[in-house]
Chain A
Amino acid sequence: MTISIHASVNGEPCQFQCGTTDTLLKVLRENLQLTGTKQGCGTGDCGACSVIMNGELVCACLVLAVECGQADIRTVEGLSSAGQLHSLQQAFLDNAALQCGICTPGLLMASKALLDKHPQPDETQIRYWIAGNLCRCTGYDKIVRAIMGCVS
């Protein structure tokens, strides 16, 4: 059975058709061609699929697409505006906080959600907040520094 869903993705109204078992991750990647959101596990354990839904950080692989009616969904593709990188994106670049870069979209969305809620986290808060976002390349050092650099 296919269902038609109206939602807002990165601030644009959007409509998609999905099956009842389709995840938000699948819809983003396959229906909407927004492949910036990555799949590392499909079971909520790696954070590569982190997106912000109605202001909350979620794993897109654990959200059913049919739950997204009227939802406000933000993905990495919507982070920069008018050709201007978000300060987190710039900080990740300046700090060399990515090696392979597969974890980067998820980490950017997770850090954005963190700073939206807690504009002045300390290192420990940052480390616990992003503990659901695995990075196998960097050892987290430069990622944590990049986020710390964006603390207002």
Chain B
Amino acid sequence: MNEEPTNYGDVAEVAAGNKPSAAVVGTRPVRPDGVDKVTGRARFGADMQLPGSLVGMVFRSPHAHARLLKVDVSAALALPGVKAIVTAADLPEIPDDQAMDKGQPPDFRDMSANILAREKVLYEGHAIAAVAAIDELTARHAMTLIDVDYAVLPHVIDLHQAMEPDAPLLNDHNFTKGIKPVPKKPSNIASRYEQIHGDVVAGFAQADVIIEEEFSTQPVHQGYIEPHACLVNVRPSGRTDIWCSTQGQFMVRAYCARLLQIPLADLRVFPMEIGGGFGGKTTVYLEPLAILLSKKSGKPVRMEMSRADVFKATGPTSGSYIRMKIGARNDGTIVAAEGVLCYQAGAYPGSPVRLGCMTAFAPYNIPNIKLIGYDVLVNRPKSAAYRAPGAPMASFAAESLMDILAQQLDIDPLELRLRNAADNGTQTAYGVTFKNIGYRQTLEAARAHPHYNAPLGPDQGRGVASGFWFNIGGQSSAAVDINQDGSVLVTTGTPDIGGSRASMAMMAADVLGVGYEQIQVRIADTGSIAHSDLTGGSRVTFAVGMAVSQAASAMVEELRRRAALLWRVEVDQVSWMGGVARLMASGGSSSLSLTQIAASSAETGGPIAVEISLNAQGAGPGFATHICDVQLDKETGRVTVVRYTAIQDVGKAIHPSYVEGQMQGGAVQGIGWALNEAYLYDENGRLLNPGFLDYRVPVASDVPMIDTVLIEVPNPRHPFGVKGVGEVPIVPPLGAVANAVSRAAGTRLYDLPMSPTAIHKALKRAARRRS
């Protein structure tokens, strides 16, 4: 998700209805798309080909910050085999007042300037032109013929330097939003956000202990293994087909239409299988360029990013600097929390700092909180959403403070959290009152877990941390069709990024009372189902699952009606159980199977189909508590995670294996964030590690098995009790690993990543202090 959730904690009531039986839900069947994926037949973003396709390639800035004095593509265009070149001049200007919808991000002016730079380039890798040629070699050759004159400008990569009054400015017209009166001088601070709850001055006055520390985290990339890729065919009629890897085909259609000023109806987006996204595929980079190139050349155009382009020019999440303070009584009751959070936005505004402020202390019932967030422009790629956007960094700071507090007060860290845990009825600092949450249960399960009570070896440390994510609902569509042979087709409009076809089929099976194998699930293109918001925000199993369940319920009604027509009785004479219609008057001995009803559909009004569109409300918030054991090599500073347990309230696990998978995957991404991953720049603002060799994500030999405990406190707003599960698993690991390392090292680590060098330094510092 790249937009802020808008419907968290909403309180409307669920429509009363029969709870479906759960014969399939909760089991672990093989996913419907499984065989295609293990046999190499599933087609991902780069796997589509059309005859006569051109290769599209992007020309990118070598400079971190420069004015474009001249962009001359004539020599490149003259090269035989080059069929089209586009620059920002080919993109429609988006007037200021049409940049955003109702003041809500995204900002399409910024997006337009990000996909092809106008006037200035703002980071190394910023796109300047795109070429379409008959093959890759020709396209590469054309790149060398593009003639650009740059006036290189001073750049700023560092967050603190960017906030200085005399820092090089990315945007001369950026006047910090959220400050009154509006500043007269432009700066790199795009906006200021303030969250105030209670009275922190009065709160801290009641504190026996006050702890204040500074923390920092580095930008990390989502690191999906599949680079962005698309194939676009603009036909002479203007009708355009797009095949791409995205978290939302409707998002791609809407953004391309908006950026290029094309009617929505002219664009049809076919979502390919998606090789990971984690939030990073919730915007567009290549698709608008491919449309322009295909239109100009009259040929289909294929584009695929290199891994270096993915690192340099797609959104990592923000690096951050956080100063935070908490105050507590001697018994561990937290009375106040205060802090300043600065997040790197990258080249254009839009870091998730606000979500950081909202989530930092959400697991706790703290009466007085004041958090200030700053969204800061730097000469780095524009940040993009990454799993629970904004929460992990803020949580790292908050959960480190909790650990320091536990150590100072000599209270068990889980006990300290239990004493302050948010409960049903707790009013959060951002305004919502929690209902049906299972946070406390995660802490209790952690305390009872054998892991928590296992002895530690020498140079080992154990850390715990908790985390929160809102989870969202949103617009979702689902169709259920009965084929003539009685098989069932479920269609949705949201890409399956981690097994959601299985959970959709399972919910539909239980509502219809039919077997899982009887159901096929299809993810449709934008021309084949009504709008659906993208896959993100942990919304699919909840919101799309709600649409599928409702469509299946409506289908049950329709099937009863069809059976009644066949029997020539009123519909209330027909019951539906186990996938079979029964005539009540017969005592149930007269029955019609789904197959029989389907076979005679022509006599009862034609094909049997139902489609439901809704805007799901009432997503249940997610809470998790993680336990991490590390082994520290004090000589080298190297840390190994030796045991890890993730505990989470998941509402209801539709397919437990894929829920566990979300928890395990999120935990390991968080471990990478804590220990290894970082963007490293040279003095010219050029990325030093744009590849998987030097930007090291965790590999199999870096991590142990990730133990999981699923707590199920059902969400009454969903027919099966589902809460989103995908995002919260990445929130606690940063704190859990840092707390474990700090305890193993006997000294606190405040900065991520905790590389061997950083730990080695911290150990030396601590030794000096002691001697």
Contact = CB atoms under 8 A, between A and B. Distances in A.
Interface string A74-85: 011101100001
A85 to B, nearest CB: 7
B34 A140 contact: no
A115 interface: no
Contacts of A135: 225, 700
Contacts of B657: 95-96, 142
B40 A102 contact: no
Interface in B20-42: 28, 30-31, 33-35, 37-42
A48 interface: yes
Chain B, interface size category, equals 35 or more
Interface stretch (B44-52, B388-396, B743-751): B44-52
A75 B40 CA distance: 9
B701 A128 contact: yes
Contacts of B275: 38, 40, 100-103
Nearest to A33: B49
Interface in A36-79: 36-43, 45-46, 48, 75-77, 79
A141 B706 contact: yes
B305 to A, nearest CB: 10
Contacts of B692: 40-41, 43, 45-46, 134
Interface string B206-226: 000000000000000011111
B705 A141 contact: yes
B137 interface: yes
Contact of B699 (A40, A41, A126, A134): A134
Interface stretch (B459-467, B521-529, B660-668): B660-668
Interface in A129-144: 130-144
Given A96-B658, A101-B275, A134 B225 contact: yes
A40 B226 contact: yes
Nearest to B694: A45
Contact of A42 (B276, B306, B661, B697): B306
B669 interface: yes
A116 B304 CA distance: 34
A79 B39 contact: yes
B309 to A, nearest CB: 11
A79 B35 CA distance: 12
Given A21-B137, A45-B693, A131-B700, A136 B39 contact: no
A22 to B, nearest CB: 9
Contacts of A94: 30
Shortest 8 CB-CB contacts between residues of A and residues of B: A36-B40, A102-B275, A139-B668, A96-B657, A139-B664, A45-B692, A76-B40, A99-B498
B67 interface: no
Contacts of A43: 307, 691-693
Contacts of A93: 30-31, 34-35, 38
B278 interface: yes
A139 B665 contact: yes
Given A136-B223, A136-B225, A137-B498, A35 B307 contact: no
Given A85-B39, A94-B30, A96-B31, A136 B697 contact: yes
26 contacts: A29-B47, A33-B49, A35-B40, A36-B41, A40-B307, A40-B692, A41-B307, A41-B691, A48-B225, A48-B226, A79-B38, A80-B39, A89-B38, A99-B498, A100-B276, A102-B44, A104-B37, A128-B701, A134-B225, A136-B225, A136-B276, A138-B665, A139-B703, A139-B706, A142-B661, A143-B700
B43 interface: yes
B700 A101 contact: no
Contacts of A127: 700-701
Contact of B37 (A30, A45, A98, A134): A98
Nearest to B223: A136
Contact of A137 (B46, B661, B706): B661
Contact of B700 (A33, A42, A105, A144): A144
A34 B693 contact: no
B28 A100 contact: no
B39 A100 contact: no
A143 to B, nearest CB: 7
B122 to A, nearest CB: 26
B71 interface: no
B225 A102 contact: yes
A115 to B, nearest CB: 15
Interface string A6-17: 000000000000
A35 B700 contact: no
A96 B29 CA distance: 9
B701 A100 contact: no
A30 B46 CA distance: 10
Nearest to B48: A35
B243 to A, nearest CB: 13
Interface of B: 28, 30-31, 33-35, 37-44, 46-47, 49, 137, 222-227, 273-278, 304, 306-307, 497-499, 655, 657-658, 660-662, 664-669, 691-693, 697-703, 705-706
A6 to B, nearest CB: 23
A19 B703 CA distance: 41
A40 B225 CA distance: 5
B46 A100 contact: no
Given A46-B225, A133-B700, A100 B498 contact: yes
Nearest to A21: B137
A75 B655 CA distance: 30
A108 interface: yes
A97 to B, nearest CB: 9
A104 B226 CA distance: 12
A37 to B, nearest CB: 7
Contacts of A132: 699
Given A37-B40, A76-B39, A137-B665, A102 B226 contact: yes
Given A95-B657, A96-B658, A101 B42 contact: yes
Contact of A96 (B39, B304, B661, B701): B661
Given A43-B693, A96-B499, A104-B38, A30 B699 contact: no
Tell me which of A75, A135, A137 has the highest count of chain B C-beta atoms within 10 A of its own C-beta.
A137
A96 B28 contact: yes
Contacts of B307: 40-43, 45-46
B44 to A, nearest CB: 6
Nearest to B644: A139
A138 B664 contact: yes
B38 A99 contact: no
B43 A35 contact: yes
A30 B137 contact: no
Nearest to B46: A39
Nearest to A132: B699
A76 B693 CA distance: 25
Nearest to A100: B276
A48 to B, nearest CB: 6
B51 to A, nearest CB: 12
A138 B706 CA distance: 10
Given A36-B41, A98-B38, A100-B224, A45 B691 contact: yes
Given A43-B307, A99-B498, A141-B706, 12 more contacts: A35-B47, A41-B307, A46-B225, A46-B692, A93-B31, A93-B34, A96-B499, A137-B665, A139-B667, A139-B706, A140-B664, A141-B664
